[in-house]
C-alpha cells in the first residue's frame, strides 16, 4: 500500500476530492500553508493499493492547473527601508506537488 501526499492549490482542491471520491478513492483534505508564499494551500492524503498509484496521480494531474502568481518580496532584514522598492516577482505554482510513500501498516478499526 502507498500513501499519496498531494499539495494542491485551494482552487483545485474541491474538484480533485470530488473526482477521487467519484472514482471510489478515499481522501483526507488538510488545510496547509506554503512555506514560500505563506498562503493557504491544500494537502490531500490518499491511501491506495500499489497498482492504483498511477491512476490517482493521473487524476491529480488532470484536475490541478499551474498558475502564475506574483510575490512581493519582503524588505530585507536590517536593510535600508526607505530606499527599498519591492518589485513583484512571478512564480509558477502547481499543478501539484506529489509524494508517494510506502505504508508499513494500514488498519481501519
Report the C-alpha gap between 42 and 31 in whole angstroms: 5
Report yes or no: 59 and 19 within 8 Å, Cβ to Cβ: yes
What's the rounded Cα separation, in Å, for the pair 89 and 87? 6
CA distance 108 to 18: 22
Among 1, 29, 57, 97, binds ligand 2BA (CB under 6 A): 97
Is 81 a binder of ligand 2BA (CB under 6 A)?
no
Which of 70, 81, 85, 92 lies at the binding interface for ligand 2BA (CB under 6 A)? 92
Query: Taking CA 92 as the corner, what is the angle to CA 88 and CA 98, rounded to the nearest 5 degrees?
Result: 140
Build a one-symbol-per-residue string for 34-63: x at contacts with ligand 2BA by CB under 6 A, - elsewhere.
Answer: xxxx---x----------------------
Is 101 an interacting residue with respect to ligand 2BA (CB under 6 A)?
no
Q: Does 94 bind ligand 2BA (CB under 6 A)?
A: yes
Residues that bind ligand 2BA (CB under 6 A): 7, 34-37, 41, 91-94, 97
Amino acid at each position: 500500500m502507498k500513501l499519496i501526499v498531494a499539495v494542491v492549490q485551494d482552487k483545485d482542491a474541491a474538484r480533485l476530492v470530488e473526482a477521487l471520491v467519484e472514482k471510489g478513492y478515499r481522501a483526507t483534505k488538510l488545510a496547509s500553508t506554503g512555506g514560500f508564499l505563506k498562503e493557504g494551500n491544500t494537502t490531500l492524503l490518499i491511501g491506495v493499493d500499489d497498482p492504483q498509484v498511477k491512476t490517482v496521480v493521473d487524476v491529480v494531474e488532470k484536475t490541478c492547473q499551474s498558475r502564475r502568481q506574483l510575490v512581493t518580496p519582503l524588505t530585507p532584514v536590517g536593510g535600508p527601508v526607505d530606499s527599498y522598492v519591492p518589485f513583484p516577482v512571478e512564480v509558477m505554482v502547481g499543478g501539484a506537488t506529489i509524494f508517494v510513500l510506502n505504508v508499513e501498516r494500514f488498519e481501519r478499526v
